Copies of this chain bind each other. A is one copy, B any other.
Amino acid sequence: MNFLDELQRLVAQVERGINQHLPLPDAAPRRLHTAMRYSLEAGGKRLRPVLALATAEALGVSGDGALPAAVALECIHTYSLIHDDLPCMDNDDLRRGRPTAHKAFDEATALLAGDALLTYAFALLANAYADQPNLAHGLIRELATAAGSQRLIGGQMADLLAEKKANATSEELDFIHLNKTAAMIEASLVMGGLVGGAEPSQIATLRTAGRHLGLSFQIIDDILDVTATSHDLGKTAGKDARTGKTTYVTQHGLESARRFAAAHASAARLEIARFPGSVGFLIALIESMAARTK
């Protein structure tokens, strides 16, 4: 099977998993559950859940074994976008080519839908893996740490603070990228590994690979903000430059940023290549992420 077919298969599995595992839109209160699905069903690359599914498959766990973990990752990612788009944060009207949650509903509903998706990620893991409490526990610990105040949320906070300063330092920029973006990509590989029964040393390899992949991904995001159109990105392009935000591009220039991104993608590929199991798809996915233009 070729890469794009395989990717499409996994994305379709994620879409099905979202539909299957989220509370129904007519659960009370209906407006809240409709908003949760509105943002979660808006499409997007489904990168984090696909990474989790592909990692579990590389370890021999195919089928829906890793699907609740994959959906939980997407719940966290989506909540972070909803809150990030709010007027008091980035104040964005457009996300994945559609009105953001607070535009389609209202600010209070968007706030609560984000809170609900964040909370639901943990309820889903606890319920779906209830017959394997050790696994449930490991997955929840990984996700709560990656999404927490010293990783994902810490990265968002540091990002906000950096926007208010004329020049963020290189150290501050690294903190932001490592936590705002890489934490959840790391967790995606690690959670796929946990479902696949990976040994501690393999988990460490997945963590290192995830960190490099996440850094590469965020640097490319910074590059695309300069080089791509809003239409391609499905969100407002050129925003970093307009707000005077420090990015890898402003700090190192476009060409150096491209070299950094490629180096991190290579490092991720090398880590994954030493992994036992059939890692062909994962490696192709890393390469495709490094070559993305939107």
Shortest CB distance A73–B (Å)? 14
CA distance A158 to B116 in the complex (A): 14
Q: Is the CB of A111 within 8 A of B89?
A: yes
Within 8 A of B (CB), among A154-169: 154, 156-158, 160-161
Pick from A118-126, A200-208, A238-246 the stretch touching chain B. Answer: A118-126
Interface 1/0s, chain A 136-170, versus B by CB < 8 A?
Answer: 11001100110111100110111011000000000
Task: Identify A150's interface contact among B23, B88, B122, B140, CB under 8 A.
Answer: B23
CA distance A32 to B136 in the complex (A): 28
Task: Identify A141's interface contact among B114, B130, B160, CB under 8 A.
Answer: B130
Q: Is the CB of A33 within 8 A of B149?
A: yes
Q: Is the CB of B153 within 8 A of A116?
A: yes
Q: Is the CB of A115 within 8 A of B31?
A: no
The answer to whether A230 has its CB under 8 Å from any CB of chain B is no
The answer to whether A27 has its CB under 8 Å from any CB of chain B is yes
CA distance A107 to B28 in the complex (A): 28
Q: Is the CB of A130 within 8 A of B126?
A: no
Task: Identify A107's interface contact among B33, B79, B88, CB under 8 A.
Answer: B88
CA distance A156 to B136 in the complex (A): 28
Q: Is the CB of A108 within 8 A of B160?
A: yes
The answer to whether A235 has its CB under 8 Å from any CB of chain B is no
The answer to whether A173 has its CB under 8 Å from any CB of chain B is no
Given the known A-B contacts A88-B107, A123-B144, A145-B123, are A150 and B115 also in contact in the complex, defined by CB atoms under 8 Å? no
CA distance A27 to B83 in the complex (A): 22
The answer to whether A36 has its CB under 8 Å from any CB of chain B is yes
- Nearest chain-B residue to A90 (Cβ)? B108
Q: Is the CB of B31 within 8 A of A148?
A: no
Residues of B within 8 A of A156 (CB): 112
Q: Is the CB of B150 within 8 A of A28?
A: yes
Task: Identify A36's interface contact among B27, B88, B141, B149, CB under 8 A.
Answer: B149
Residue among A111, A112, A119, A144 having the largest count of chain B Cβ atoms under 10 Å: A119
- A31-B161, A133-B136 provided; 16 other pairs, C-beta below 8 A? A28-B154, A29-B154, A83-B115, A86-B111, A89-B108, A89-B111, A109-B157, A112-B157, A119-B147, A119-B148, A122-B144, A123-B145, A126-B141, A126-B144, A133-B137, A136-B140
- 11 A-B pairs within 8 Å (CB atoms) are namely A23-B150, A29-B154, A32-B153, A115-B118, A116-B149, A120-B144, A120-B149, A122-B140, A123-B141, A133-B137, A140-B140
Chain A residues within CB distance 8 Å of chain B: 23, 27-29, 31-33, 36, 79, 83, 86, 88-89, 106-109, 111-112, 114-116, 118-120, 122-123, 126-127, 130, 133-134, 136-137, 140-141, 144-145, 147-150, 153-154, 156-158, 160-161, 175
